[in-house]
Amino acid sequence: MKEHKGVYQNSTELMDLGGKPFYMNDFVDACLYGRLNLFLQGDTGSGKTQLAKDAMDYFQEKSMFILGRNDMDTRELFQQINLEKLRNGVSSQELKELTDKINYKLFVVDELPNSVPAVRAQLFNLFDGFIEINGKTYPIGDGYSVGIATGNIGQKFTESNNDLGRALKDRMHVTIDTDHFKPNSWDTFNILSTNTNPRVDFTKKSENGSLEKKVLEIHNKIVSEEIPFEKLVVANYLIHGLDYVNLDGKETTKTKLKDAWPNAITNHGMGSDESLVLSVSARAAKSILRLSQAFDYIAKDKGLTDDQVKENYFNSMMNAYKFVGAYSGVLNDLAVREIYGNDKYSAMDAVISTTKTQFDENAPKISAGLEMVNEGKKSKKVLDRFSGRWNFMKEFLERASEENKK
Amino acid sequence: MKLPTNFMGYDGKKELEKIENEKEPENNLEKKVNFPIISFSGDLSFVTDETFYKEIINYLDKTFPAHQNVLSSNLKFESNVMKGSNTYIATAVDMYLKSINSEYRLATQLDLEQNLKFTADIYNDSGLALRNLKKANKDQAIYLFNQLRKKGLTEKDFPLWFNLRGLNLDNNLNFNLTDESFYKKVESLNWKNGTSFSKIDAFGLPKEEDKTSSRQIWTSDNALSRCYLNRNWGLDSYNSSLSYSGDDGRVVLAKPKFKKISGGSN
């Protein structure tokens, strides 16, 4: 955020939108604006904790830092968030009053994988704005809370039977492998020449004052804005289009194939996204849309005009898809290892390339389809243009034209 | 329900009119099996004879029985034209044309450039781009490059362009050089993604940047990418999906205008 200069320095670009580069701190801002939980995966000492600490400066006393430890139990966690009275047997009403008083906006959990599962589950609940006590959920704060967690779990992300990996995929909306976007030599020269204290300084407070109000204003703006239709089509392609599979001429979906994917796709050409990636869930699609909206806000803040932002809707969605999708469990890990040198981001780039081709080819048909609906027509000639992975668009346009006739 | 009137810059009204006014191609095909290709536009043509289409399918299934998913299953004969194209299909169709001594071969990028209007609103596979041996499709890239290494080429010669015409596929769909194969170092393959161009070189590839042009070259850092003339007459050389085939894909055939270009050339 322009108003806050954090300690973390990293000028390695993660993405580009309309010529505006996005860095690691922009991603943290985007997640805060979109209220998306962020997991910073990376090696020890790579700066993830400092990055999270910088985010805490936005909220100052309304942020909480928790260090993940395997000897921490839920009692200690509740003590940390001033809920120790819970252990003394309180009524539901008292409980509600207590939880209402918790007004943390940002929870930062350093080394989250060190926490035991019961504590981890409560931490995820805090990120999502509630706490679970005796099977009942109680909202905390006043509607905005978000979490940033750090950790280094490496390969465990790829083990489908791993509880931690699964929990992270379920509850963290965006995961960034910070090792992939390490600070460059310019940054490290600067960092090392000004400060040789290897610890993150939690005593130093930001001089800018709390930026909570600004973050919440941006968040409210982002969530209240109408989602551009172009982005909705992209999101639906990621949900339905990427689910489509053609097995020896038989059309089916990866969802129906269940565990048979990707092995059932035999002899398919190398590089095809049918065997490389699963479709995204509706929940992940929401995260992608939200993150893309936040990217657009930041791009505008960096100087893009409304028209330029509009021209980049597709790119914005693809970048959001890349960072929501890479560690969400949608990639075929074997293919990523064998074809992409275990680089999930490269694999996502390949899927994005194919998606771009798909949209380049189908955008004129889609625009014709939209016009067809607006004119109250239902043209077989137009609808028949959509087949295979674009069947979803045919279904939508058919339904929309029927609705318009009513 | 009111939907937007355009999508990704395309005017819905115009696109709808285009589809609604499109006429079905007339069925006036010559029925000669070995000279089946009609709908001439200059020297370019599509596969518009169903008998010939069936021969192609038969050849693909017999020659590459394990790869129907990549090849024949991606083709269909509809509205009197063969629809579908990917890198493997285009290469295999060229192999077939060669095997029957047809006077036609797969169109090269230069062939396509001679009559851009012929390929409006469709995409046509014409080449491969070899940029490195590390990123997407690295296995196929290494296989292809090992053949070039024997001819004295090194990674310093990247990026390389290959015409699909003249390449051979083996049973594993690896690309093999033949005495007809053409490859060339082409700097534009490493231009910034989306660079505009208007002039082409002697091989139909972008020659110099032209910011005023609406034609663009799309690039990436894949090890091996498919290259095709896209529906907007841009040159797509960024795509790692060699096997994707869409209804908008057409295998374009051409009567070679000049003697075959043999061997590699830089």
Report the complex ipTM.
0.86
Average pLDDT score over residue span B208-219 = 90
pLDDT band at A95 (very low <50, low <70, confident <90, very high): confident
Residue whose C-alpha is closest to residue A274's, from A257, A262, A289: A262
- pLDDT for B11: 95
| CB contact B5 to A (< 8 Å) | yes
Average pLDDT score over residue span A289-293 = 98
Inter-chain touch B236–A381, beta carbons under 8 Å: no
- pLDDT for B24: 54
Say whether pLDDT at A259 is over 90: no
Q: Which range among A92-101, A113-122, A218-227, B99-108 shows the weakest confidence by mean pLDDT? A: A92-101
CA distance A82 to A99: 9
Inter-chain touch B136–A339, beta carbons under 8 Å: yes
Mean pLDDT of the residues in chain B: 85
Asked if B71 and B88 touch (Cβ cutoff 8 Å), the reply is: yes
pLDDT band at B26 (very low <50, low <70, confident <90, very high): very low
Say whether pLDDT at B38 is over 60: no
Say whether pLDDT at B233 is over 70: yes
Inter-chain touch B1–A270, beta carbons under 8 Å: no
- pLDDT for A149: 96
- Residue A404: list chain B partners with CB under 8 A: 1
Smallest Cβ–Cβ distance between A367 and the set B11, B222, B241 belongs to B11
The model's pLDDT over A127-186, given as tens digits with 9 standing for 90+, comes to 999 988 878 888 887 889 999 999 987 655 554 457 777 788 889 999 999 999 999 888
Asked if A174 and A287 touch (Cβ cutoff 8 Å), the reply is: yes
What count of Cα atoms within 13 Å lies in the side-chain half-sphere of residue B248?
22
pLDDT band at A202 (very low <50, low <70, confident <90, very high): low
- pLDDT for B212: 87
Say whether pLDDT at A14 is over 60: yes
Interface mutation vs chain B, best among A226, A268, A272, A393, most B CBs within 10 Å: A272
Q: Which range among A267-281, B53-67, B152-166 shows the weakest confidence by mean pLDDT? A: A267-281
| CB contact B88 to A (< 8 Å) | yes
Q: How many residues does chain A have?
A: 406
| CB contact B89 to A (< 8 Å) | no
The model's pLDDT over B202-213, given as tens digits with 9 standing for 90+, comes to 788 999 999 888
SS3 track for chain B: CCCCCEECCEEHHHHHHHHHHCCCCCCCCCCCCCCCCCCCECCEECCCCHHHHHHHHHHHHHHCHHHCCCCHHHCEEECCEEECCCHHHHHHHHHHHHHCCCCCEECCHHHHHHCHHHHCCCEEEEEEEECCCCCCCHHHHHHHHHHHHCCCCCHHHCCEEEECCCCEECCCCCEECCCCCCEEECHHHHCCCCEEECCECCCCCECCECCCCCCEEECCCCCEEEEEECCCCCEEEEECCCCCCCCCECCCEECCCCCCCCCCCC
| CB contact B94 to A (< 8 Å) | no
CA distance A64 to B167: 62
pLDDT band at A249 (very low <50, low <70, confident <90, very high): low
The model's pLDDT over A105-131, given as tens digits with 9 standing for 90+, comes to 999 999 999 999 889 999 999 999 998
Smallest Cβ–Cβ distance between B19 and the set A266, A360, A381 belongs to A381
| CB contact B65 to A (< 8 Å) | no
- pLDDT for A86: 65
**pTM for the complete prediction?**
0.68
Inter-chain touch B20–A381, beta carbons under 8 Å: yes
Residue whose C-alpha is closest to residue B56's, from B246, B251, B198, B232: B251
Q: Name the more confident of B23 and A314.
A: A314
Inter-chain touch A367–B10, beta carbons under 8 Å: yes
- pLDDT for B100: 86
- The distance of B20 to chain A (nearest Cα, Å) reads 7
Q: Which range among A94-108, A342-356, B54-68 shows the weakest confidence by mean pLDDT? A: A94-108
Residue whose C-alpha is closest to residue A243's, from A253, A256, A257: A253
